[in-house]
Structure 1
Amino acid sequence: MNETTPSHQRYRRSVRDWVVDSSMFLIALGFGLLGTVTFPGEPPPPPKPELFTVTEYLVALGGCTALWWRRRWPVQIAVVLTLLSAFFPLVGGAMLAALFSLCVHRPPKVGLTVLALGVLASYVNLLLHPAEHGAPFLVMFLLSTVLLGAVAGWGISVQHRRQLYASLRERAVHAEAEAQLRAEHAQHRVRESIAREIHDVLGHRLSLLSVHAGALEYRPDASPEEVGRSAKVIRESAHQALQDLREVIGVLRAPVGELPQPTMADLAQLVEEAGDAGAGVEFVEEYTGAVPERTGRTAYRIVQEALTNARKHAPGARTSVRVSGSPGRGLNVDVLNGPATRAAEPPASGPGNGQGLVGLTERVSLASGRLEYGRTADGGWSLSAWLPWPS
């Protein structure tokens, strides 16, 4: 029972409670019986009135029996037994057991208050029965005080140990819950990263498929050469998309590792593929030095998403890609495309369904960069990004 448990609460004893209560009863009873034994060489106690002796035995037995209810009324029983011990020495064992239990289950100030009352009761007991102890008054009083203090200190230490154990157990529960939340958060971030990578990797390939398949659908009079070229691009793009998908699935199945990542060296091939899709793309590189791996990967994804959106929403438009910068100043990526020269595809037909720029904004933000995009005055679209490039 903790210190916040109401004293009037009905208790249902467990097996451990029955063992503890029985032990308390027997120890208190044995301590009382020990007070009636006269050891060899010890002068016999002075005779007492028979009525007083019977009363003392009955009070001692009642005090030991009261210990069975000390969990329900710990303070009341401890106080009553302490007061009785001032007049009936045989109640001392039950009083010590009640004091110990009180110090275990109640705040220390309550236990120390009853302890002070016990010291006073011990003083009164020695005054009323001075001839029963074959030792000086002061020695007996000090021994009684030390015994009461030891019992109270033991009970308070047990209470503190239980509180410490409960606190450590609660901390362990909280730590486990926090660890689970951190694991769920990490899984969420990994899922977002995988989703972003799948969008970037497969979106570009599938947009090429969509463009060339749309050209074959809307131009049934195309020459065999144009049909063959479109079919070749569709086949190559489908094959490359399948390869990318295998790589993604392979990484997900592996215990550790990363998705295969492009670099700045792959940017020229990306622009070349966009030109093969029939869109005129102007590519300008104006940077010096080796671009850091993370910065180059982010720049690649920016250009990839911009070209994918240009094919989807502005088919046939001229597009310019400009990458410039230097160490210390940062890397600038600018993509500009004019208005569409033919009807754009319905939004639902393109991969991503509008999530590309959202994921791109998150990617640039994670790289500590800036991203701006919007329509131009002639109805086109511009996208500009700045990425840090340490010197």
Structure 2
Amino acid sequence: MTTTSPPGRSDPDLPGLLPGFLLAERPDEPQHPAVVRRRSVRDWIVDVVSFLIAAGIGAATLAEEVGRGDGFTAWRATDLVIGIVVCFSLWFRRRWPIQLAIAATVTAAFVSTSGGAALVMLFTVAVHRRFPAAAAIAVANIFSAAVYYWIHPPSDSWTVSFVFATLVFVVAVVWGMFVRARRQLVVSLRERARQAESEAQLRVEQAQQRERQRIAREMHDVLAHRLSLLSVHANALAYRRDAPAEDVARVSNIIRESAHQALEDLREIIGVLRAPSAHPVAEDEPQPTLGDIAGLVDESRRAGMRVAVDDWRDAEAPLQPAVDRCAYRVVQEGLTNARKHAPGAAVSIALAGTPGDALTVNVRNGAPAEIVPADPIPGSGTGLVGLNERVGLAGGTLRSGPTADGGFALTADLPWPS
């Protein structure tokens, strides 16, 4: 089992003895002292192979020393015991790579059987620590080899043996740094893939949220208008029970037509909600524009509202589709709110503007001319909020508020490029 220490801190077993760069945490390990990672099958295989390599090198070195010396003496037995202990310490090299590498390097200067373990420790440091730490341990191993060959002169030339040992240490460091770089690359690619997946999911959620907001605005703009008309006509029938049969039939026909249209609008919105995400409904589907205001005003007049329209704009100049739809929604919201909150009040609609300046849409109603019923037409309270967002998306500004005569005014200034 292995644990790691927090980055930037020295190991508590050797406080103040080692420079900070030697104890830098490995990038591919958990960075919390409480994290314990269970040894995997791969770790077991690597540890067994490392132990066998270190033991094999140590045994070969000891055999050569015994063959060139005076047999298996007490010192050789001690050398063997120390070498076995150092080789077994390889099982803990992931937890204390620097400390065990230093201990193995110092031991290798005097004990022949610990040379293989010191080489494996050097490779481990190169894999799990930065280059300065690996280079420092490599230099220590080179110095240890020089001391060892001075105490135990080799059968060949001292220089040849020392150069060969130095090359082995350099190869171990280069190989370890290559493995480290490859691990870091894999970790980086995994992190990038995870981040890309997270960003893609975020973009999908944002697109879904925008679509929900668009559908909510359409549902409010369309259904609130239709259902408020239904409520007005139904109230007229309820309060005028003595109305002539012709008027009752006319109002009933209007209610039926309005209900049918509301159901059609609801069916279209539900169809949008049920559409597969891979085939979203196009934003440029047919939408009402300022040219449809006449029908909107006629519906309101048939519901008993007094509506006056003043159109001072240049009707020949075309409007951008988004601005055209937005202007229609402003008028629709103004009529709906007047019907809900100011029954019997006169409503005036003013359209003005020229290309290159701006299109101004103003919907104003006076104070309620009739008593507001105790159970008024319910509303979501977000109509003006959604309308303000719609006008902002079209590049305009929206102003709304009560007037001095107790009424309410709704004004939108929309861009009208030449």
TM over 0.5: yes
Q: What is the aligned partner in structure 2 of residue 256 from structure 1?
A: 280
Counterpart AA for 1:257: V
Q: What is the aligned partner in structure 2 of residue 41 from structure 1?
A: none
Aligned residues with identical type, % of pairs? 48
Q: Secondary structure at the match of 2:176?
A: helix
Aligned partners of 1:343 and 1:36: how far apart in 2? 110
Matching of residue 134 in structure 1 with residue 134 in structure 2:
no
Contact 1:274 1:281 survives alignment (8 Å) = yes
Taking a change above 3 Å as real, the CA distance of residues 82 and 216 of structure 1, as seen in their structure-2 partners, is same
Post-superposition CA distance 1:1-37 (Å, at most 9, x none):
6863678888753322221111111111222233356
Counterpart AA for 1:273: E
Matching of residue 352 in structure 1 with residue 379 in structure 2:
yes
Q: What is the aligned partner in structure 1 of residue 321 from structure 2?
A: 293
**RMSD (Å) for aligned C-alpha atoms:** 2.5
Q: What is the aligned partner in structure 2 of residue 165 from structure 1?
A: 186
Contact 1:7 1:74 survives alignment (8 Å) = no
Aligned partners of 2:205 and 2:155: how far apart in 1? 71
Cα deviation, residue 199, structure 1: 0.8
Cα deviation, residue 58, structure 1: 3.1
Choose 315-324 or 303-312, whichever is displaced more.
Answer: 315-324
Counterpart AA for 2:412: A
Matching of residue 302 in structure 1 with residue 330 in structure 2:
yes
Counterpart AA for 2:226: R
Taking a change above 3 Å as real, the CA distance of residues 364 and 2 of structure 1, as seen in their structure-2 partners, is farther
Matching of residue 145 in structure 1 with residue 171 in structure 2:
no
Matches within 5 A, 1:1-391: 4=5, 12-35=38-61, 45=68, 47=70, 50-130=73-153, 132-135=154-157, 137-254=158-275, 255-258=279-282, 260-288=286-314, 289-346=317-374, 349-391=376-418
Counterpart AA for 2:280: V
Q: Secondary structure at the match of 1:327?
A: coil
Cα deviation, residue 260, structure 1: 4.7
Contact 2:97 2:124 survives alignment (8 Å) = yes
Q: What is the aligned partner in structure 1 of residue 27 from structure 2?
A: none
Aligned partners of 1:171 and 1:153: how far apart in 2? 27
Aligned partners of 1:186 and 1:119: how far apart in 2? 62
Taking a change above 3 Å as real, the CA distance of residues 27 and 100 of structure 1, as seen in their structure-2 partners, is same
Q: Compute the TM-score of the two structures, normalised by the length of structure 1.
A: 0.89
Equivalent residue pairs, number = 383
Cα deviation, residue 344, structure 1: 2.5
Aligned partners of 2:367 and 2:88: how far apart in 1? 98
Counterpart AA for 1:152: V
Aligned partners of 1:154 and 1:7: how far apart in 2? 29
- Unpaired stretches in structure 2, ≥5 consecutive residues: 14-32
Runs of 4+ in 1 over 6 A off after TM superposition: 5-11
Taking a change above 3 Å as real, the CA distance of residues 197 and 12 of structure 1, as seen in their structure-2 partners, is closer
Choose 3-12 or 357-366, whichever is displaced more.
Answer: 3-12
Contact 1:11 1:72 survives alignment (8 Å) = no
Contact 1:206 1:351 survives alignment (8 Å) = no
Q: Secondary structure at the match of 2:312?
A: strand
Contact 1:86 1:121 survives alignment (8 Å) = yes
Choose 140-149 or 54-63, whichever is displaced more.
Answer: 54-63
Cα deviation, residue 233, structure 1: 1.1
Q: Secondary structure at the match of 1:390?
A: coil
Q: Secondary structure at the match of 1:332?
A: strand
Q: Secondary structure at the match of 2:146?
A: helix
Q: Compute the TM-score of the two structures, normalised by the length of structure 2.
A: 0.83
Taking a change above 3 Å as real, the CA distance of residues 315 and 72 of structure 1, as seen in their structure-2 partners, is closer
Taking a change above 3 Å as real, the CA distance of residues 303 and 18 of structure 1, as seen in their structure-2 partners, is same
Counterpart AA for 2:110: F
